[in-house]
Structure 1
Amino acid sequence: MPAEELTPEPIRIVIADDHAIVRRGLRTLLDAEPGIEVVAEGGTVDDARRYVRGHHPDVLVLDLNMPGEPTLTALPDLRNEFPDTQIVVLTMQDEPAYARQALSSGVLGYVLKEAADAELVAAVRAAARGESFLNPRLGAKLAAAPPPGPPGGLSDREAEVLRLLALGYTNTQIGERLFISVRTVETHRAHIQQKLCLSDRPALVKFALDHGLVGQGS
């Protein structure tokens, strides 16, 4: 007798988006595809982390703008904690800076919500194969806009310290996140204040927001 053909395991998906109606639409779209199964859905980064930990999906479809922990800043931790789950970002944000930060964090797919019906399934299948997928229009923008250097003459490390400061991290937390001492964080902060001629935290936070160091939406 001929050997039985093995049915491939379905691509298992967790969806995280804070709008229930969007989640239902995404679930309907993905569940209608052969070989794809949505195993859980949630509305925050914490939900995404909990469901990925519990279900071990192949792909996490993640909105960039949800309440609670900022998605962009959570991406590196999600990739480190769940290396076997690939991430596809779904967002309204078509600014190259957001895509560049997401992709540099290890995200494999970046899909705009306006094109989700046409692109999300392809992005999920590509991510499950370990391949990248980028919205073509956004890809053209990225190619036309090479990444700028940090604003205000800051070094890359100073810009990262300022970004974390603007997100509300303490000096101790910044040191732990960047694997540097608190004294080194304080030195970076002093250099930032000198270069920008800014002396208080609110002014530093405003500078970070005004210069795109902190995402303000998706």
Structure 2
Amino acid sequence: MDAPSSTPSRQGSPEVTVVLADDHLVVRAGMRLLLAQDPAFRIVAESATVPDTLDAVREHRPRVLVLDLTMAGQSSLPMIPALLTASPGTRILVLTMQEDPAFTREALRTGAAGYLLKEAAAEELLAAAHQVADGATYVQPVLGARLAVETPGPAHQEPVPVLGARSAAVTPGPADQEPLTVREAEVLSLLALGHTNQEIAQRLYVSVRTVETHRSRIRDKLGKDTRAELIAAARERGLVA
């Protein structure tokens, strides 16, 4: 079987060929503009329907397929195995609005290498694309955490590695406390695990100042700041064991 196509990059290493599959022209244009800024990537095709995506993958055998879960009213989830059969070397990065962990689990079960929400920051998309191209699995922490704590289904899926982050949902705590946003919950869990602000910033692809802002909001909402208090608060919310 032929390997996914690639050509030498300006740095001398193979370019990562990419197919963009999304039925929204503006979304594809944004992804194209973002990936074009990184010399490691080369866009070889775009598609707006599930059948066209399958044709593009067969023709170009890209290293990475950035795939929306719903295109032109049709779910692309059932087509993931067929896409991988058409090009076994292709790594599929799902980029979607679907926050339900059930979609994440099913996408990974059927062969996707990554799962990212469309609200993710630009640098997170780049990081995810690099990770899956390099053979790693990429799942946003909020979704990975939900997969890890939920009761496994019939297939008893193992928790997946967690990299990157972003979501606007909230994580509830005691009734008398203001709920944390998911980003704040991610920062809280990492603080509770002993990570420094610098380490958290690197892990979440944000600035140290942003981490400091989240930490200040956590302190204001919870009235807690010491590591012991943060660990207790994170355990209370099921963020750490």
Same fold (TM over 0.5): yes
Residue 89 of structure 1 corresponds to which residue in structure 2?
94
After superposition, give the CA deviation of every residue in 1:123-174 in whole Å (9 maximum; x if it has no partner).
1111111111001111111112123349xxxxxxxxxxxxxxxxxxxxxxxx
Q: Is the contact made by 2:57 and 2:83 (CA closer than 8 Å) also made in structure 1?
A: no
Which one of the candidate residues 38, 49, 53 is aligned to 1:48? 53
Contact 1:96 / 1:145 at 8 angstroms: preserved in 2? no
The answer to whether the 8 Å contact 1:110/1:135 transfers is yes
Structure 1 residues 68, 80: closer, same or farther in 2, change over 3 A? farther
Q: 1:57 aligns with which of 62, 66, 81?
A: 62
Distance in 2 between the 1:43 and 1:22 partners?
11
TM-score calculated relative to the size of structure 2: 0.57
Q: Name the structure 2 match of 1:32.
A: 37
Describe the SS at the equivalent of 1:60. strand
Closer, same or farther in 2 for the Cα pair 1:55/1:116, shift >3 Å? farther
Residue 148 (structure 1) aligned with residue 156 (structure 2): no
Cα contact 1:61–1:87 (8 A) shared by 2: yes
Once superposed, which parts of structure 1, at least 4 consecutive aligned residues long, lie more than 3 Å away?
none
User: C-alpha distance in 2, partners of 1:71/1:131?
Assistant: 22
1:120 to 95, 120, 125: 125
Higher helix share: 1
Q: Which amino acid aligns with 1:83?
A: P
Q: 1:103-130: per-residue Cα shift (whole Å, max 9, x none)? A: 0011111011010513211111111111
- The structure 1 residue matched to 2:19, chosen from 7, 14, 18, is 14
The 3-state SS of whatever aligns with 1:76 is helix
Change (3 A) 1:67 1:116: farther
CA–CA distance in 1 between the matches of 2:87 and 2:37? 26
**Are the equivalent residues in 2 in contact too, given 1:60–1:85 (CA < 8 A)?**
yes
Normalising by structure 1, we get a TM-score of 0.63
Distance 2:22 2:55 in 1: 14
Within-5 A mapping of 1:176-215: none
- 2:141 and 2:112 mapped to 1: Cα distance? 16
What is the one-letter code of the residue matched to 1:8? Answer: S
Q: Which runs of 5+ in 2 are unaligned?
A: 1-9, 156-241
- 1:211 matched residue in structure 2: none
CA–CA distance in structure 2, aligned partners of residues 108 and 11 of structure 1: 15
Partner SS, residue 47 of structure 1: helix
| Kept in 1: contact 2:57–2:86 (CA 8 A) | no
Higher RCO (CA 8 Å, separation ≥ 6 residues): 1
- In structure 2, the residue matched to 1:72 is 77
Counterparts of 1:83 and 1:146, CA distance in 2: 31
| SS class of match (2:17) | strand
CA–CA separation in structure 2 for the residues paired with 1:43 and 1:51: 11
- What residue ranges of structure 1 are gaps of 5+ in the alignment? 151-218
> Sequence identity of aligned pairs in percent?
46
Aligned-pair RMSD on alpha carbons?
Answer: 1.8
Structure 1 letter corresponding to 2:106: Q
Deviations 1:8-52 (A, max 9, x none): 111010000000000000100111112111111110111111111
Tell me, yes or no, if structure 1 residue 139 matches structure 2 residue 139.
Answer: no
Name the amino acid aligned to 2:72.
P
Q: Which amino acid aligns with 2:143?
A: L
